[in-house]
Amino acid sequence: MGEFSQFYRDYMQSAAWRTYRRQVLTRDKGRCRQCRRRGPVDVHHLTYERLGHERLADCITLCPTCHAARHSHMHQPHAAASGMGCLVLLVAVVLGLVVLFLASRQPSHPSVRPVAPKSAVPRR
Ligand SMILES: [Zn+2]
Ligand SMILES: [Zn+2]
């Protein structure tokens, strides 16, 4: 990751990036692709797969607001994962409580046994 960000930082300073960036801005007419707002805009990578030799489709123009929104759930896999983990844990706890509640309502001695379905046995 260190090498990547170093390369990324250098690339952002390069003439190649500036040329590419201008192409993206021209294609999107300098407007945010999400909310169509004009004004200060950023060029956002949809993929870093071809960083340094991007295709025109690899980046889009976004205003700072939409850009920040994208990054809040795109480039922070750890935050997203832990948030998801909390939700899963909460659901598991609630389900566990429901199961406990249902179990406590049932008769303690299992007198009713599941009857084997006789129709499943082929007749002769
Ligand atoms: Zn926007
Ligand atoms: Zn971005």
Q: How far is the CA of 62 from the centre of ligand 2 (A)?
A: 8
Ligand with the closest atom to the CA of 68: 2
Is residue 114 assigned to a domain? no
Q: How far is the CA of 86 from the centre of ligand 2 (A)?
A: 26
Domain count, the chain: 1
Is residue 119 assigned to a domain? no
Q: How far is the CA of 46 from the centre of ligand 2 (A)?
A: 7
Selected residue with higher pLDDT from 5 and 18: 18
Is residue 84 assigned to a domain? no
Domain range spanning residue 10?
2-74
Q: How far is the CA of 45 from the centre of ligand 2 (A)?
A: 5
Q: What is the mean pLDDT of residues 80-109?
A: 65
Ligand with the closest atom to the CA of 63: 1
User: Beta strands 59-62 and 42-45: pairing type?
Assistant: antiparallel
Ligand with the closest atom to the CA of 38: 1
Is residue 14 assigned to a domain? yes
Q: How far is the CA of 22 from the centre of ligand 2 (A)?
A: 15
Is residue 17 assigned to a domain? yes
Is residue 27 assigned to a domain? yes
Selected residue with higher pLDDT from 104 and 33: 33
Reported as a single tens digit per residue, the pLDDT across 36-48 is 999 999 999 999 9
pLDDT greater than 90 at residue 81: no
**CATH value at residue 42:** 3.40.1800
Reported as a single tens digit per residue, the pLDDT across 59-70 is 999 999 999 999
Among 28, 14, 15, residue whose Cα is nearest residue 56: 28
C-alpha distance across the termini of the chain, in Å = 69
Q: What is the dihedral of CA 8, 9, 10, 12, to 10 degrees?
A: 80
